[in-house]
Each structure stands twice: as C-alpha cells, then as structure tokens.
Structure 1
Amino acid sequence: MTDASSAQTQASADNISHPPGTSNSDSAFAAEASSTSVKRKVDDLGPMDSKLDARDDKRRKGTAPIKEEYLVKSDDIVEPRPPQDEVDDDAAEAFHHKDRQALGHNGKSKRREKKTGQNKARDFGSSRDQVGLCTSRAHHPEFSPDECKFGDKCKFEHDLRRYLQEHKRKDLTTFDGVCPVWQTKGRCPVGWKCRFVGSHSKEVERDDGRRELILVQDETRMAEYAATSVEEEGPGVANAITPQQRFDLTRRKVGTPKSDQFLKWLDTQVQGQRQRLEAGRPDRSHRNSSSPEPDPEQGAVNGDHKLDSRATFVDPPLRPSEKRRLYFGAETPVLAPLTTQGNLPFRRLCTSLGATFTYSEMAMSLPLMQGQKSEWALIKAHESEVQPPTFSLKGGKNIVYDYDQSKDLCFGAQIAANKPWLAIKATEILTTLLPKGLRVVDLNVGCPIDLVFRDGAGSALMDSPPKLEKMLRGMNLVSGETPVTVKIRTGTKDKHPTAQKLVERLVLGAGQTAGDPCGVAAITLHGRTRQQRYTRSADWDYISETAALIKNLNEKADGVADTIHEPDERDMPNGHKGSRHGKVFFIGNGDVYSHEHYYDHIEHAKVDGVMAARGALIKPWLFEEIASGQYIDKSSSERLSIIEKFCRYGLEAWGSDEMGVGQTRRFLLEWLSFACRYVPVGLLEYLPPNIQDRPPRYKGRDELETLMASDNYLDWIKLSEMFLGPAHKDFQFVPKHKSNAYEMEAEG
C-alpha cells in the first residue's frame, strides 16, 4: 500500500469554486460558520458567522456544501444526517479524569450529573488470550523455559504447543504476516504471545530427534536499532522513566530541593503580606527584584522578616533568561495537547505528516509525583519527537537572540494542578528525570471539564490570577533550562472574556510575589470560553486583539510609565537581538481546518504561531496542506494507508500481543470517530471547508470513501479489521458521544 505522503492530488480550482465575490485569500473568512444546536437558535450567529452570511447567500450555515451529484436523496429530498455532538476541541479533554466522578469520603458521588450527550465510564471489554501463557515460558525456547515460582498453583498455561493451538487466536495475516515490532527492532518483546509469532519463530530438530519451537531474532536489525534501557518499552520510545525511578517516586524518595526552597520563601512572603495588612501598612514588596530584600521604611519587624526570607534563598535557581530559547512562527504548525486522541501513535503520525511541535496528553501533577504508571505513560514520546525540529526560518533570519535550533526539541509535556506546590514539584520532577526529553513544560489553564474545574485546576485558574502567577513563577524557577509555557481560554463565562487582563499580568508581573514577570516563554489562547465550549466558532477577533496587546507589552509600548512595574530585563525570556527586552510568544488555537485558515490567522490575527486540534484529528494531513500551501484531495486508498500507518505505530507502542492489538483498535476507533467527519474537498461546492459544518447524507467517489464517511461505529470496526483482524469476542466499543448529543447544554 502506498505511503500517505505519496500520490497526493491538488484539488482543482476549476472544479471547486470559492463563494461568489471572494478571492482565495478572502474565502478563509467564509469558513467560520457555526453549527446549530437545540440550545442555540439557528439565527444565533457566532462571532464569524456574519462574515460568511455577508459573502455568500448560497452557502447554508452549518451545512457542508456538497456537490449535487454526491448527495443521497429520497423522493428528491436530501436525506439529513443524524445530529452529532459538539465534541471537545482539545480534544475530549481529560478523558481519564472526566469518565470518573469525584468521590466524597463515603465513596459516593458528590453530586448527580446532568444527563448529557456523552457516554461516561465506558467499558471497552477485554482483549486477552483464553488462557494466558506463563511468563516463565513467554520468551524462551520450548525445551528450556524458566522455572515458574508458582509451580503447580500457577493459573497460566505452561505447555507452549497447547497454548498456541488452543488458547491463542490464529496469527494475523495483515502487514504481510510480519510482526511490525520485530521488523523494526529485530526482536519482539511479547515473544510467543505475539499475534504474528509465526514470522519470528520456527521449529528445529534436535540431535535426539525431538522438534523444538524457538523464537528467532534478527541480529542485523537488532544491531541497527539501539536498544533502550527500559525493556518494557516499545521501539523508539523516549521519556520513559525506569522502574526504579517509579518505585522511588511511590516511596517519596525523589527530592525536590529547588521547589522546597521556593515554597519556603513563598510562605515567608505570604506571612509578611499578612503582617503588613494587619499592621495597616502598604505592601511595598513589589520591587524590581526576584529575591526578597529588606526595606528600611517598612519597620524593623518586616525588615528582619525579609532578611530571614532572603537567608533561605541564598542560592537562587536559573533565571528565565538562562533557559533554552524557543521559537514559534508560520513555519512551525503546532499539534494541540489532545487527551485520548493525542496518544503517542497519533502524535507520531502527525509528526510524519508535518507537525513541527507536539504536546503530551494532559497529566495530573499529583499522580506524576506519586509515580503512577498510567500518568507517566502520558509523558512518553516517540524518538522522532525528541529530535531537533527541521523547519527553515523564514528568510533565514534568527529573530530570537541565541536561539539554537539544534538544541530545540519537538515535544513538550502538559500538566494540570490546582495548587502551587503540586505544579512546582511536578515540574521539578519532570525536568530532573527527563532533562533532555522535554521542549517545554506547559501548564493547562484551559481544561473545561467539570471534575477538573471543581477541583480548582484547568480553566478554574483563570479566575485565580494570584495563584496562577505563583504557579508559573515557581515552575520557571525550578525547571532548569526547560522553558515554561501556559495554555488559556478567553475566560470561564460566556460574554465575559478575561484573558487579556490575565495576559498583561503574566507578561509584566503583578508584584504580589516578587514584582517581576513570571517568565512564561509562550502563551496559547483558545478562542472560546469554558461555558461556551464548542457551540460557536472560535473568536479570532479576540485572539487578534490579544496578540496586539502582547506585542505592545513585548515592545514596552503599553504606556506603563511607573518604573516600579517595569520588568527586570533578566526575567524576560526569548530575548531579541539588539533589544534588552524578551519576547513572549503568542499562539492562537481554534477551528483551524485548512491552510487558508492557518495563514489567514498568521497574517491578520498577527499571532506568532497557530495550534491545530480538531482539524488535525479530522484530517492529519492538514500539516501537509500547510507546508504545501494547497488543498490535498486524498483518495480513499491514500487515507486507508494513513490508517494502516497508525495501526503499525500502535502495535509498536502498545505491543503486538492480544492486549496490544485491542489497545490499538480502541484508540484507532477513538480517532475514526473524528476522521469520519472529513468531507473530501473534491466533493465540496465551495472552499474553504468549515470545521463546524456537518454534511447531509452523501456517497463518496468509491465504496471505500463512502465507508469512511460513515458515522456508525460498526463501520469503524470494519476499517480496523482490515489491519488488526477480527475483533476479540470480548472487545467492546461504545462511542463517546451519543447521536442525540445536540440536546446537551454547554457546561458551566
């Protein structure tokens, strides 16, 4: 099968027209139409809908403009498609936290959730052998296994031939019958349990006439592939901590000296502020310094107190200006942090298709500190993500002082926390255990999920600027050379945006902790409020205004004349050549679905970079379109090859045994729940396509294209069986979103 990057076809401008009266560049504005829902009237326009309405009366808002010949009709009436849910863009944020309810002390749910359009606490069944093979036999020749420590009490199979004939399903014939892991690594970590075991095993005759089953290793491939130090990991996996490190975390044996130092100083500052308030004296601690210094005008008590706090902070950590420099630009499209769908195989797929920077799924700080294996699995990256990015700077100019592309990476970790000490300690642990594996540590201040919000994390921090500033300042001081970034929303409540006030505080500092900027290297803004969610288009007008504000703050043109609030140049990240002041990069996020949207936002919103979420889930080759500057009309066979590539990457990441195949199938189906929304550009009457548009019933240009457009999860399973074989009899898949999800209220 051909690779996804081959045989690409540019959509012909003669066959696909733009709305009348618009140019190619202007038509990007026409893509912001909003879909409808029960809670929102059809006439209730989103921020960008009026632009579409004024430009094209023929294009129906909320409906994909499919050409007449591809529509499915019944009695000359176009059949409507069942309504779909307004799916979370970031994407299905915090699934492993969302699907479990917060519990009280008695173990019962704290509150009864409203009925929504989502299937929560989904059960995916089981994908296991009928009787498992004992680990003492799994990797050894038939006649020389290890001794089983459980002996006759062991519940697993010890007879290898009986296991292969009676308890293990037949080998898969996909991928030419060759194990993808063995093909890459030269050996298969799951041994006899592999669903392709026939490709790396054989039967040999011994001197005594007996025939023995043995596993085969390819010494040449093993030599070519550098073996990792953690044997449980798959091929090419980076950022995997060792079992000993995980054990030390569970026993609290991993120290956080920098965090302890800063938190002790922070407590001293808070106590000092309380004393000054009680004494009725003004707070004059917002000086132009990041370490506390005595102020003789504040009296002997407060002066001595600040001297004591300074004594505990003798050896300050790295300043933000000493960190590794970052760069974001039009040349560097970014894949958003995507929970569930943003797994390692999908990120690897997007990287192969042109994504420059990627992020981990959102990880909670406390489980990271406790060494929970499931949370650390989110931080794992493919080796292609921890390599220097390969983009070329526009014009060949290095606009950031001392930026070294060879020292940059592609992969960043995103964390969430509701208290400063959690975020700060988790950051120190991450950057200590993975000093060369993270481009940035990003703090999630945008997650809208109720469970996360009620705990005070995610978008709840938008309403607690002092706490957020303490978090970011502390993270910056303990992260070594790794920069710290933050992702926010426009606000928590609809029609009440607060992001711009927060941005000003993050860039300049508020003076309540140390008086200097907290040193964030980049800010990403998702153009929706928490309450609004995805019922309307992202507000790129607000993003544009925020970009202008940040530019003014970066250039010190915001009119702030009071030198007390003037930031210390040493605390500014990403310095410019010829300038004392640093640069805080600004990335826009929301509804990016084509190269036209991408470059329109770069040019008109004046953002430094653009982040794609749902657009990349629906068509991962969005990054190819951005690189080529044109629409790519993928054929059904080319799209199928992308699915094949994901399956291969999934087996390499999760294993080629029964459980690994089941895991790969589950996450493939999660992705296909988004990919089925793609309408080939060759079928569209007008461009650019709009991510909010939903198509009526239509038929593809061939049977496979029609199958890929199905919103029936049973058809997604058919697609998975083309590469992963028949699903296990106990495998289950419940779509995350119900068909009547349009009745769901926006949360908040």
Structure 2
Amino acid sequence: MGIPETRERPNAGFAEEPASKRVKFDAPAPAAAESESQKPPRVKGLAIIKEEYLITAPGQRVPEPATIDDDAAEAGGRTAAPDPRDAQQKGPKGGKRKKQQGQNKERSFGIMSDAMRLCNSIAWTPEFSPRPCKQGERCNALHDLRKYLKEGRREDIEVFGGVCPVWEKFGKCPSGWRCLFLSSHMKEIEHEDGRKELVLVSDSDKLASAESNEAEDKPEEKRYGVVNDVPPNIKIDLSRKRVNFEKSDQYLAWLSKDTELYRFHHHRHKDDVDETKDYRAQYVEPPFKPSEKRKIYFGRETPALAPLTTQGNLPFRRLCVELGAELTYSEMAYGLPILQGDKQDWTLMRAHESEILPPRFNPSGPVETGYDNSKDMRFGVQITANAPWIAIKSAETLTRFLPHMRLIDINCGCPIDQVFKTGAGSALLDTPSKLERMIRGMNAVSSEVPITAKIRMGVSDHKLTAQKLIERLTLGGEEMREQQGAPGCAAVTLHGRTRQQRYTRAADWSYIGECAALIKKYNTTKNDLTDTIREVEENTLPNGGKMYFLGNGDCYSHVDYFDHVDNAKVDTVMIGRGAIVKPWIFEEIEKGQYLDRSASERLTYIEKFARYGMEAWGSDELGLNYTRRFLLEFLSFFNRYIPIGLLEYLPPSLNERPPAYRGRNDLETLLASRDYKDWIKISEMFLGPAPAAFKFEPKHKSNSYEIEAEG
C-alpha cells in the first residue's frame, strides 16, 4: 500500500495521487501531535521500531554489525588486473604463480557442476543424431545420454511445478539435456524398427518470437533476450593479439610525441636560446578528432542504478528496470582483461533487451538541442584502468564489438585496496593529468559513444580534490586546454565520500552541491574561454557544450532523491545500496510516495530474480547454482529493509540499524533474518534444494556486533 510522505512536496513525483489519498503531516491533528510526543526519541544510527513489533525492550541497543562491508556492493569480491611484476613471483612448488581473476575468488562456493560432464556434441540434439565431437577419441566427456540422465546428474527439481521457466516462456530451453526441469520438455519416441529415442520438445508458437536472435549452430552460446553477447571467436582473437587497434595506435603514437615535446619545452632552462620556437608553435593536431558524439540526457525523471560489482548483475538490473530504473550500468570491468579477451569480464558487458529501450524524458525539461531520445538507451558500460593505453584501447574495443552501449564510464572512485594499489579506481583521483589523457584518448577512439567518469571527493579526508578534478574534466588542464580544447567528458558522477571513509560516514551532499554549482559555472566558462583566434572545436564539447553532473550516496527514498535534485542541484541521482535493499525505490520516485511492500510482494521480487537468473545463466546445475549464489548475495542486502509500517519516524535512513524486531507475519520476519541459513531456505523456494557440494559463507560470520553511529 502507499504510505503518504512525511512532508508535503509539491510536484515531487510524476504521477499525482487523488487529493483524498494525499495527507499533510506538516500540521498534525491534536491527537496526532499527542501521539508524536509519546514516541521514543530518535537515536543516531538506530531505526526506531514501533513498540508492538520489538523483541527487546524499547531503546535497548542490540547486537548489530559494527562495520558492514558495503564495499562489497561497489567493488567487493573482484581481484585487480594482474600486475606484470607478479610474473616473477614463484608459487609454492617453484612454478609461476597465476593470479586469480574474476568475481569473488577469495570465497569458495563449492562445486557447482554435474557429477559427470555431458559432451556438447549431444547436449542439445536427439539421442540418435549427435553433432560431430571436435575432440574425437580424445574427448573425456560422457557420450552416453541415458547414462548421463541416470548417473551424471541429480533428479529433476519440483519448484515451479516441475516446469522449466525458460522453456515455458520461450518454447525452448538452451540448457538442453542438462536442464534440471528436463521432464517438462523431453519425450521418448518409438521408431518403426522398435528403437526408442529420447528427444527434446519445443513449443513452435512460443519459439517463433525468439528465433530471430537464436544461434542455431551453437545453441549453448545463446540466451534469449540478452544483447551484447560477444562471439567466442572475437575473444579468442583478442587473447591471441590478432585484433588491430588502428585508431588507438595512431593516437597513442601522437600522444607519446606530443608529451615528449611538451616536457622538453616545459623543463628547458629559460636561458636556453638554441630553441627558437615555443611549444605552441610546434604543436601538431592529433591524427584525428573525435567524431560528433551522440547526445545523452540526465534529468529529474531518470534515476540511475549505480554500477555494482557482483550485485549489479544482469537479472538484478532487469528487475530494477522493471521497477522503474531509467539508467543502468554494467558491473565494473577491468580494461586489461577486456583487451585479453577474458570471458568473465566480457560476460559483464551483456545486457537485457529491456535495457536498450530509450529512457523516459520530459521534452519540456532542460533537454539539449539535438538530443534524440529514440536513439538513446538505458545501458552503459563501466571500466577501470591504471594506464592511458589500456583505457584507450579498451574504449576502441568496446565500441567496435558492443552494438548496444549508451556510454563508457571510467571508474575513478573504487576504494578497494586491490584496485587502488594498481593505480586504478580511486588512485586516479591523485593523478588528474593521467585521467585527463585517458578521457581525451577514449573520446578520440570511441566513435559516437560518449565518455563519462565516476569519482569520489578525494583519497583522504583532509585533502578533497573533487572540485579541482571536476574543473579539469570540464575545461581541461591549462597545459592542454589551449591546444586541444575541452577533454569532452559528457558527465561526472560524484560519490559524496572519500576513499578513506569507504562507507563509514554519511555521504556529504553539501559538498556535492558545491561541486554542482561549479559545474554550472564551468559550463558557462567554457563559452567565455573561446575566442575568434582559437575557438574550441565543437566536437570536443559533449552534449553541445554541457557536462551533466550526478550525485551518489545514501539515497534510500523518494524524499532523499528529490531533496538532492532540488537542493544539491544535481541533474539526477545514482542509487547503489538503496536499490539493493529496496529495488522498488525507483517506483517510489516515479509515484512520489512511499510504498510499503508486503512480505508476499517482496517474495515475488525474489521469484522474479530466480526466473531471470535461469534465463541469463541457464536452468542446468551450473546455471541454477550461479543464480543461487547471486540471489544469496542479493538477500544479504535485501534483509536490511525495514517495512515502512513498522517505523516510528519517516523518512527511513539507509544507515540506521534496527533493534531486534518481528514482522507483521512469519514471512516478513523470515525476510528480515540476518542468518544466511534462512537466506538459503528462501532460495530453495524457487531453486530447489541446494546440492551438498554448494557452499555459501556470508561476508560476516559473527552475529554479535554493536551499532556504530555515523560521524
């Protein structure tokens, strides 16, 4: 049900409620005022629960995490790109140590595959008509289908009535014989000679709508409704260095010569008269200018889902889009593995077809001239890199091989040590010149795809560098501005914390507001800097000369969202942890009111995540357990939602922790559990029993903590 706001916000939402449903709380009735005075006082860092739902005495400080590792939402579980120096390190047996890459390698999830591996040559074909096996006699996989069905896999699971959700929706299951709902789409036919053959069943009526995107020759490589699925041969060519980076090589060669020339003139002694020409006289234009960029738009009606490593996977983004997210980002990928054709990092680039639809926008709002909403889309890609050549070549590679991409965002805010120590992520905040070279180069090779950046306030608390960095991203450094114009950064997102703070303090929206004011000033300054002698090239200015500015941090309700847009004057707000805890926050923003989701409605979102996970990763043993793993990661945040009807004070705060409480029914109490064993029970409702070999260890193994008030 909808819960009215705690304060009146005219025109806050996009769908006005009838007057009878809108209640003012600014001037409470006498009885209401009396009940307000009876409420327990607010305590910083503590969510005040109504007394009838408390398990402990009111006001008692109950066990609670002292430090919740919310770095896990933004970049946890990923290891950094390999450092070439590590090649010299030896493993325990004297061999070279191979660094682990990909997601959550520091945590083990057990074995997630079948007991026996079925050969791909028969995994999708009728029993008597297998495809030729590429390995021939060397193949060590199973080629006996009936033996595999009897001994190589576990029994079919009974959730969803035993019917495969993927087959039920699309008429065909890409998991083939490996599907754990196999009995719903297989049959045994008898031939004239008496032989009985097992065959897979398809629904031609449902399949017709999905056939256009299907790879018939390699069905194992296709997931319905998924775009940006790069073929394996391209990844192989990248891994074997068979891809030509013509644009990047030309630009990097020019950049190397120009940098050397600039340094020579910058450091030469003032009395050195051998050189008669100054740097400006010898400056040579780059081999090519960036082409006219596609114009993008960020506005009040386009709340954005932040790039979230592990949590920001394709099924979760799809759920958020369904609930009203207008802009989404991929999980953060590393530039070097992208160039090396790493399968895991390229998998992060996949998007759902709902993410390539145009975002909503208000034509009467501050839309730049030339913006074409029909050519816009929701999905953007985020990468990180520690060297300009990696960022530049990655941008060219992504532009070439990803047809559905709104923009490329360079991560300059990731606080994780593994990323920071390589010089990527938030380490770029202290190297503004390097970051500027990255963005200029990425713009030069990314065709029409705009380049954006996500930053933090600074590395350390006592040295905030965001304002100077924003000036540089808007106007360009003084040493490069005169020759090359603006860097062409289309948008900047500022997370209102430093790297040192991680998530231990509240986001500083006053500082974000100061930077938003500077952006508006700098957008005007760019026009003042131009003159008739050296006019800034139009194709170096994004969005016709405007750089958008987004704020990020601690947005947990529509009240927070509109406060930030109205008071901090940001173009829109990027929402991270708030969306994981409460995915329907985007719907609240659209409707302009609180939505008190019942336990059964919240369970529906979990069911949708399970269905979307099977569509993305498969309904076989591996796919189900990938879905289970990411669902459990989702539930580790989802349980932190406190139902609106249980709170004494609104608006709710993302950083407040509740005392022990019970829900309005048993299901609501279960969904609030912080015990990971309960999360596994919830996952089994939609994914069946977890196999014995599957493991899940929460990031926090102890339940005895104390509340830490925010500074």
Superposition TM-score, scaled by structure 1 size: 0.83
Tell me what 2:98 maps to.
Answer: none
Shift of 1:155: 4.0
Q: Secondary structure at the match of 1:131?
A: coil
CA distance in structure 2 between the partners assigned to 1:244 and 1:120 by the alignment = 26
> Cα–Cα, structure 1 residues 734 and 187, in superposed 2: closer, same or farther, change >3 Å?
same
Q: What value does the CA root-mean-square deviation take over the aligned residues? A: 3.1
For residue 275 of structure 1, the aligned residue among 254, 264, 279 is: 264
Q: What's the secondary structure of 1:204's corresponding residue?
A: strand
Question: Post-superposition shift, 1:251?
Answer: 1.8
2:243 counterpart (254, 261, 266)? 254
Question: CA deviation digits over 1:517-567, x for unaligned, max 9?
Answer: 101000000000000111110000000000011011112299979999985
Tell me how far apart the structure 2 counterparts of residues 629 and 499 of structure 1 sit (CA, whole Å). Answer: 31
Cα deviation for residue 145 of structure 1 reads 3.0
Paired residue type of 2:433: P
Distance in 2, matches of 1:262 and 1:478, equals: 8
The verdict on how the C-alpha distance between 1:557 and 1:402 changes in structure 2, with shifts beyond 3 A counting, is closer
Counterparts of 2:683 and 2:519 in 1: how far apart (Å)? 46
SS of residue in 2 equivalent to 1:665: helix
Equivalent position SS for 1:96: coil
**1:527–1:542 CA contact under 8 A, matched in 2:** yes
* Alignment partners' CA distance in 2, 1:564 and 1:721: 69
Matched with 1:393 is: 362
**Alpha-carbon offset, residue 495 of structure 1:** 3.1
Matched, 1:512 2:479: yes
Give the distance between the partners of 2:596 and 2:659, measured in 1 at CA.
20
Tell me the equivalent position of 1:197: 182
Q: Determine if contact 2:56/2:659 at 8 Å carries over to the other structure.
A: no
- The answer to whether structure 1 residue 617 and structure 2 residue 580 are counterparts is yes
SS in 2 for 1:524: strand
Which residue of structure 2 aligns with residue 50 of structure 1?
A: none
Amino acid at match of 1:429: T
Distance 2:81 2:132 in 1: 41
Aligned partner of 1:329 in structure 2 is 299
* Deviating more after overlay: 88-97 vs 526-535: 88-97
Contact 2:63 2:703 in 1 (8 A): no
Q: In structure 2, the residue corresponding to 1:555 is in which secondary structure?
A: helix
- My pick for the range that moved more, 336-345 or 176-185, is 176-185
Determine if contact 1:72/1:698 at 8 Å carries over to the other structure. yes
Look up the equivalent residue of 1:457 and give its one-letter code: A
Q: CA, structure 1 residues 606+151, in 2 after alignment: closer, same or farther (shift >3 Å)?
A: closer
- The residue that corresponds to 2:26 in the other structure is none
Of 36, 40, 44, the residue aligned with 1:61 is 44
- Contact 1:509/1:567 (<8 A) preserved: no
Question: Match for 1:261: what amino acid?
Answer: Q
2:336 alignment partner, one of 362, 366, 377: 366
Taking the aligned partners of 1:520 and 1:693, their CA distance within structure 2 comes to 36
CA contact (8 A) 1:98 1:449 kept: no
* One-letter amino acid of the counterpart of residue 653, structure 2: N
Change (3 A) 1:344 1:281: farther
Instruction: Give how far 1:168 is off.
Output: 1.8
What SS class does the counterpart of residue 177 from structure 2 fall into?
Answer: helix
2:162 equivalent among 177, 186, 192: 177
Superposed displacement of residue 85, structure 1: 3.1
Change in Cα spacing, 1:241 to 1:151, as seen in structure 2 (3 Å) is: closer
Q: Which residue is 1:106 aligned to?
A: 89
Structure 1, residues 373-431: CA drift from partner, whole Å, max 9, x if none? 11101111111112222x1406x346201000000011011010111111001001110
Partners of 1:300 and 1:362 lie apart in 2 by 45
Aligned pair in 2 of structure 1 residues 675, 144: CA closer, same or farther (>3 Å)? Answer: same
Give the drift of 1:146.
4.0
Quote the residue 1:685 is aligned against. 648
1:448 to 415, 431, 441: 415
Deviations 1:634-693 (A, max 9, x none): 111100010000000000101110010010000000010000100010111110000000
Once residues 153 and 569 of structure 1 are traced to their aligned partners in structure 2, the CA distance between those partners, rounded to angstroms, is: 60
1:24/1:565 CA distance change after superposition, 3 Å = farther
Q: CA deviation at 1:25?
A: 5.4
Separation of aligned partners in 1, 2:568 and 2:442: 29
Find the aligned partners of 2:117 and 2:91 in 1 and give their Cα distance.
35
Name the counterpart of 2:567: 604
8 Å Cα contact 1:84/1:740 also seen in 2: no
Q: For residue 730 of structure 1, report the CA deviation from its aligned partner.
A: 0.1
SS at match of 2:462: coil
| Distance of 1:100 and 1:298 partners within structure 2 | 43
2:95 paired residue number: none
Percent sequence identity is: 53
The question of 1:10 aligning with 2:2 is answered yes
1:84–1:739 Cα contact (<8 Å) kept: no
Letter in 1 for 2:467: Q
User: In the alignment, what sits opposite 1:571?
Assistant: 540
- State the one-letter code of the partner of 2:67: D
**C-alpha distance in 2, partners of 1:282/1:688?**
66
Judged with a 3 Å threshold, the aligned counterparts in structure 2 of structure 1 residues 282 and 540 are, in CA distance, closer, same or farther, namely: farther
The one-letter amino acid paired with 1:452 is: V
2:24 is matched with none
- Residues in 1 aligned to 2:704 and 2:430: alpha-carbon distance in whole angstroms: 29
Match of 1:422 in 2: 390
Alignment partner of 1:462 is 2:429: yes
Deviations 1:436-457, CA, capped at 9 Å, x for gaps: 3110000000011111111111
CA distance in 2, matches of 1:73, 1:699: 10
Mapped partners of 2:280, 2:637: distance in 1: 60
Q: Are positions 1:318 and 2:300 aligned together?
A: no
Matching residue of 1:536: 505
| Aligned mates of 1:466, 1:168 — CA distance in 2 | 56
**Are 1:552 and 2:518 an aligned pair?**
no
Quote the residue 1:238 is aligned against. 227
SS at match of 1:368: helix
Counting matched residue pairs gives 664
Q: Secondary structure at the match of 1:203?
A: strand
- d(CA) in 1 for partners of 2:517, 2:411: 23
Q: Does 1:96 align with 2:59?
A: no
Does residue 72 in structure 1 map to residue 55 in structure 2? Answer: yes
CA contact (8 A) 1:86 1:742 kept: no
Aligned-partner Cα distance in 2 for 1:57–1:567 = 60
Q: Secondary structure at the match of 1:491?
A: coil
Unaligned segments of structure 2, at least 5 residues: 13-38, 93-103
Decide whether the 8 Å contact of 1:190 with 1:656 is kept in 2.
Answer: yes
Which amino acid letter does the alignment assign opposite residue 213 of structure 2?
Answer: A
One of 469, 472, 475 as aligned partner of 2:442: 475
Say yes or no: does 1:433 pair with 2:401.
yes
Deviates further, 241-250 or 535-544: 241-250
Superimposed CA distance per residue, residues 559-616 of structure 1 (whole angstroms, 9 cap, x where no aligned partner): 97999998555522112xxxxxx11000000000000000010000000010000000
Residues 647-666 of structure 1 aligned to structure 2 (within 5 Å) = 647-666=610-629
- 1:299 alignment partner in structure 2: 276
Moved more, 556-565 or 252-261: 556-565
Cα distance in 2 for residues equivalent to 1:589 and 1:659: 35
Please state how far the C-alpha of 1:219 moved relative to its aligned partner: 1.6
- Farther-moved stretch of structure 1 (373-382 vs 274-283): 274-283
Show the 5 A alignment for 1:105-144.
105-107=88-90, 121-144=106-129
* Contact 1:515/1:565, CA 8 A, preserved across alignment: no
| 3-state SS of 1:523 partner | strand
* SS state at 2:543 partner: coil
1:643 counterpart letter in structure 2: I
Q: 1:728 aligns with which of 677, 691, 695?
A: 691
1:560–1:480: structure 2 CA closer, same or farther, 3 Å change rule? closer
The residue type equivalent to 1:368 in the other structure is I
Do the aligned residues in 2 keep the contact of 1:85 with 1:738 (CA within 8 Å)? Answer: no
